[in-house]
Amino acid sequence: MSFWLMGVIKFKEDLERFGIYGRGITEVISTTISKRGINAAPIGLINKDLTYVEVFKERNQIGDLVQGKSKIFTCHTYENLFKDGNIGINVTYNPLFFVESAFNDLKEEDYFFLDDFPFLKDSHAIIKFEVDGITEEKHFCRFYLKFSWGKVLKREVIGINRGFNLLLELTILATRRRITNRYDELYPFYSPIIKNCGDERMIKALERLNKLADSSK
């Protein structure tokens, strides 16, 4: 394991006001930028003693994933974080964003810029982090994050929706379809709940996920 750390400290910024509650992993969508353009990808924001994300280095390393791991791989996120050192965290409940960004680029009209950095329009809160340290494993990097600023965009109270949670889980499993059949095993159980508990947008996201998952075999 190679190791590079630039004075990482335990910052006490209260992330709860932006929807990041307590210790654990919060599913969000990251935004990064490069000369190629904007990249968005689902990612787990890990908030424990330190705040960090784990990102796979290369696309073909999806085959080296271990079943049960909760990392979402994206090589563009890795490249952009390594070169630019900035990441936007978008706390959003838009199911289509999670599904689409797991496989494809989002549309230009889905973004807006604040402080010269891209974020997703349909976000309840946005947070800007800087990379403050890196630990490098064989197949992935752990990027430690330093809080820059955050902004609450919507103040609606969002209740727990079983359909949304299961859709996120299916999306994660769909990205691993080449190495595990868990998506195919659980889809018959999860999809009726998503259809029963979800709204029109969630059902549309499920249909889109099915198409994208089939193309990713």
Last residue of a domain, one of 101, 119, 152: 152
* Number of domains into which the chain is organized: 2
114: which strand partners? 117
What is the CATH number for 174?
1.20.58
Q: Fill in the amino acid letter for 63.
A: G
Same domain, 57 and 122: yes
* Higher pLDDT among residues 158 and 139, named by residue: 158
For residue 88, is it within any domain?
A: yes
Predicted confidence band of residue 62 (pLDDT cuts 50, 70, 90): very low
Helix, strand, or coil here: 69? coil
User: Residue 70 is part of which domain span?
Assistant: 2-152
The reported pLDDT for the residue numbered 169 is 97
Name the average pLDDT for the chain: 87
Last residue of a domain, one of 152, 179, 199: 152
Last residue of a domain, one of 129, 152, 175: 152
The reported pLDDT for the residue numbered 13 is 62
For residue 50, is it within any domain?
A: yes
* Contacts with 35 (C-beta within 8 Å, 6 or more apart), sequence order: none
User: Tokens 């960090």 map to which residue?
Assistant: 52
* Contacts with 131 (C-beta within 8 Å, 6 or more apart), sequence order: 81, 85, 86, 87, 143, 144, 145, 146
Predicted confidence band of residue 140 (pLDDT cuts 50, 70, 90): confident
Give the phi and the psi of residue 57 in degrees, each rounded to 5.
-80, -45
For residue 157, is it within any domain?
A: no
∠ CA(186), CA(216), CA(103), 5° rounding? 95
Same domain, 140 and 180: no
Same domain, 59 and 16: yes
Confidence (pTM) = 0.86
